[in-house]
Structure 1
Amino acid sequence: MSQHLNRAKTLAIAALALGVALVSPAMAQTEAVPQAGGSEAAGSEKAAPYDDRLTRLSEVVGAVHYLRNLCNSAAEPEWRQSLSDLMENETKAEPKRRARLTAAYNRGYRSFASVYTTCTAAAVRAEENYRNEGATLAAEITARYGN
């Protein structure tokens, strides 16, 4: 359980510090592939008590990533790298959790990619709303599980 608490703390601190920023476009294309035959580690994966919130946070970050890139031409590679590292740390040796979080990220990204092809006032508002929701989720995870 303390391993999940440490992960929650790392997640929340990084998400708050970055203002629920961006994840690399390459991450949106990454799919975790469970090992053939199922390893013992993969079979022993247990959901963290904050996985529902973490899944929603992944979806929110996907949406924010798409909308920020649509409306902001300046790249922000340090945020991308920090969140990529966060995903790696959060799902180390847990390919099923990684796949769920990646799928949530992709869902958020694609939900706006299918609607907005140019930056509009509505896209800017949506990005702000999702960024605020992400900050709230990160704060909740920290308050409840971050110790």
Structure 2
Amino acid sequence: MSALRHPSPCRRFLRTAAAWICVFGTGLGGAALAQGLPDAPPYEEQLMRLSEVLGALHFLRPLCGHEDTPSWRDQMTTFLDAETLDENRRRRFIERFNQGHRGFSSVYRSCTPSARLAMEQYVSEGSTLIRDVTSRYGR
């Protein structure tokens, strides 16, 4: 079977993340803030965690020789543009992305079996987060 017919879990996650950002991330949280609702959306913590996952993958994937296009940072930028109208909220998402990146950049200098395992787990977790939030809160 060709790789085109059976993309890797990471490729599927990247495509799902891109589609999710374009469809779901068009401001559900931003809409709540634009309407003057003081509370964060009910899925805020999942989005914060997704930011952290994207940061981790932004470090781990290139470390292990994967050239993802668009990059995980580009995915995060698209997400931020779609989801955040409030500058403080945007900064919180960026900080979580940076935490995910720093958490691995301080530990790994080369791609090891544990780095590969972490990468696989983050791809799985990111896919689960997107699926759960989309199925529960998507339009």
Q: TM-score, normalised by structure 2?
A: 0.70
Q: Where does structure 2 lack aligned partners over 5 or more consecutive residues? A: 1-11, 19-33
Deviation by residue 1:14-67 (Cα, 9 ceiling, x = unmatched): x9562558xxxxxxxxxxxxxxxxxxx7x9754111101000110011111110
Matched residue, 1:142: 134
CA contact (8 A) 1:16 1:139 kept: no
Residue aligning to 1:34: none
Q: Is residue 97 of structure 1 aligned with residue 94 of structure 2?
A: no
Cα distance in 1 between the residues matched to 2:58 and 2:123: 10
Q: Which residue of 2 aligns with 1:128?
A: 120
5+ unaligned residues in a row in structure 1: which ranges?
1-14, 22-40
1:107 and 2:123 equivalent? Answer: no
Aligned partner letter, 1:56 = R
Which moved further from structure 2: 68-77 or 125-134?
Answer: 68-77
Aligned residues: 112
Q: CA deviation at 1:74?
A: 2.8
* Structure 1 counterpart SS, 2:111: coil
**Contact 1:20-1:131 within 8 A present in 2 as well:** no
CA contact under 8 A between 1:71 and 1:124: conserved in structure 2?
yes
Q: Please give the TM-score of this superposition, normalised by the length of structure 1.
A: 0.66
**AA in 1 matched with 2:41:** A
Partner residue in 2 for 1:33: none
Q: Which amino acid aligns with 1:57?
A: L
SS for the counterpart of 1:77 is coil
AA partner of residue 54 (structure 1): L
Counterpart for residue 62 of structure 1 = 55
CA distance in 2, matches of 1:17, 1:126: 16
* Letter of the 2:53 counterpart: V
Aligned CA distance change for structure 1 residues 17 and 108 (closer, same or farther; 3 Å): closer
Q: In structure 1, the residue corresponding to 2:41 is in which secondary structure?
A: coil
CA RMSD of aligned residues (A): 2.5
- The structural deviation recorded for 1:85 is 1.6
